[in-house]
Structure 1
Amino acid sequence: MAYRDEKLSEEKVFKDPVHRYVHVRERVIWDLIGTAEFQRLRRIKQLGTSYLTFHGAEHSRFNHSLGVYEIVRRIIENFKDRPNWNQEERLLCLCAALLHDLGHGPFSHSFEKVYKLDHEDFTQAILLGDTEVNKVLSKVEKGFPKKVADVINKTYENKLVVSLISSQIDADRMDYLQRDAYFTGVSYGHFDMERILRVMRPMEDQVVVKESGMHAVEDYIMSRYQMYWQVYFHPVTRSAEVILTKILHRAKELHEEGYSFKLQPVHFLSFFSGEPTLEEYLALDEAVVLYYFQTWMEEEDTVLSDLCHRFVNRKLFKYIEFNPNSQMNEWMELYKLFTKAGLNPDYYLVVDSSSDLPYDFYRPGEEGERLPIHLLQPNDELKELSRLSDIVESISGKKRTDHKLYIPLDRLEEMSNRSKTKKRIMEILFG
């Protein structure tokens, strides 16, 4: 029997709090789960710094990746006897679903932003490089790792396959909304996934939903909207991300200045230079990063030491509403006052912005292609979701942005009440 068709002697299951069970029968999938690169995802949190806001948010990208795989497995099980579905692409879909987040680094997006990295580039490198994952995929057939990479990279020729992993209603979003809601303890991310899976239909280049499932999709869209503003963009989480980002910036700046660390940041050196190898990238997980933060608390550099203390012990910055379009004069004055007060404004006066577009559709002539969610009519005609749903139409194409100014209020309060600098800072911040 060919390796791609090989089944396990008995089905393996993972007990899962969201999907109850994750089912594995294919030898290829089981072997991929056992690779070092996939097991590394246990050491990368799904929600980055959100555990400092929601104490239950300790789940990993390993959990999430299994969840996305399980949803795709169930979708294509429903597709197997339907037109437009090629059962030969089943294994490709399962592998892409399982491995779609393989390249995420520690604290994911914050880490990428500082060191100008892209986790998708590293996902490709893991799939195509000298890795255990590549060895498993290469046993399926010649060129199979490239096929999986193309699906994840959204360049695979069959757009129906791509849409299962990456679209406005895909397995990735359906898993993380429910999983993140479960572990944060909120109710916003819940929607009727069972109903959506039942009414999904494969079309030539994308997955569509029967019109009778419109209300379940509306619920899904609104769940996503609520999760972004109530969980993913929570201002306390953003405070932790601000401090995390500033720690990474400070360590890089000190290294470039020739500062002598008590514990040399050997795991970071290639990131400081902007040229980490795949091996170096995979060696840096959140356990390693947090170890450095613990040791950097004892550094002589007061900024690095203070920021690490804050992150490790959850002494976060406070925030106020801030409009960069109308308050830049106040910010410039604050910058000077912070400098005068001995608080480095590059690290202690931070504007953070978050924005989200909950649902959009393609508009001819505009930059960027936004594949909409289509509803399948009884006469087989397709209609874009917002054309039939008043709820979705009300938020379509509407980008919401929020700005906050983050400051170490505790340090300001420690200043003498007689200080004119403190008084003026407080006047600007709080009126």
Structure 2
Amino acid sequence: MSKKVNIFWFRRDLRLDDNRGFYEALKGDYPVLPIFIFDTEILEHLPEDDARVTFIFETLQNLSLTIQDEHSSSIAMYKGKPEDIYRLLISEYDIETVFTNHDYEPYATTRDTSIKTLLEKHNIEFKTYKDQVIFEKSEVVKNDGKPYLVYTPYMRKWKEKFRALDLEIFYTNSYLDNLLEHSRLPNLSLADIGFKKSNQDITPYDVTPTLIQNYEATRNYPAQDATSRLGPHLRFGTVSIRKMIKKAIAEDNEIFWQELIWREFFMQILWHFPHTKNEAFKPKYDRIEWRYNATEFKAWCEGKTGYPLVDAGMRQLNATGFMHNRVRMLVGSFLCKHLLMDWRLGEAYFAEKLHDYDMASNVGNWQWVAGCGVDAAPYFRIFNPTTQIQKFDKAHQYIQQWVPDYQELTYPQPIVDHKKARERCLMTYKSALT
């Protein structure tokens, strides 16, 4: 048995600096063994060239190289079920405490409960910290203690609490010498994990003062590509939410700030109502008689619906793993309202394709467009996919980029008539909800 160590378990926090759990581990009394587990419970559902796995793998390798060069350590990498990996670690190390950061998704909370139970049997502490949000769980609630179900009052209370907060940044640099010195920690290749390098790259984020200052004026126009691309970086924790909030405030841009608050709104909804990952928040909406047409669903997935802005969004998603937020609302509404297909089909497709997939935001937004979630769009709000072009892509720049064939004879005819689809949707929803 080797000397006593603490473990830091990297998960949705793939950075060295301003990482709360990592900071607390490094300040402890024992050398820190940093680990990452490629969880087979998650991996088995992903395609072998998944861009997110490549991104996680390459990020970990870069972090490992940094601490190897400067502190003679690295990140120990494992593949398997977390409980099995911890049994292995317990057999190899004299572990005092396992440190990590909170994760709020239903699978993660179940997993962490199991790990905590296992560790306690061996007299090992399991300490977790808030890191990926400013406010979590029940920190922003109504005066009666109940969760907010509407964004605007949640956002106001969030800002009120934030103004009274002394936001701390957890600088780790002066503590990195407390990493376990070890040159032979287990490493893995992508092939070891069962994957291959993706041909899609996760785009670097842009939070320059110019982008933030122009955000409100440009964010709704997909051809301008004027969004921050922060999504995947917040999802995997390659950036600190605390530093991003500070940046938004420094540039005095309320809209950019509020987009970051939306993320926390949906996270606390999923935490309070974990059943919403696959059930409508408003139960009566599960009475809707969704239809399913395999040909139409395939056309939607492939961007061949005959509606150019819908098709541009889906083709951008398939080619790049990204879709502009304004277009996400349109393609989601089109699936649920025009094609009258279950929002869960769209949610699952986005989960497979989006680089910035986050269960809380994805489920929250899909339920929003279907009308069945918290703070949802009313069911009779049905985006017109043609007039949306006039509003947000008047010069057809975005459409021309992703649907260059839209004026060709080969371009498909609309798979559904807007007026008839709208009437069918209203009738179906009304009969289910009254």
Q: TM-score range by the shorter chain?
A: under 0.3
Q: Which has the higher contact order (CA 8 A, sep 6+)?
A: 2
* TM-score scaled by length of structure 1: 0.25
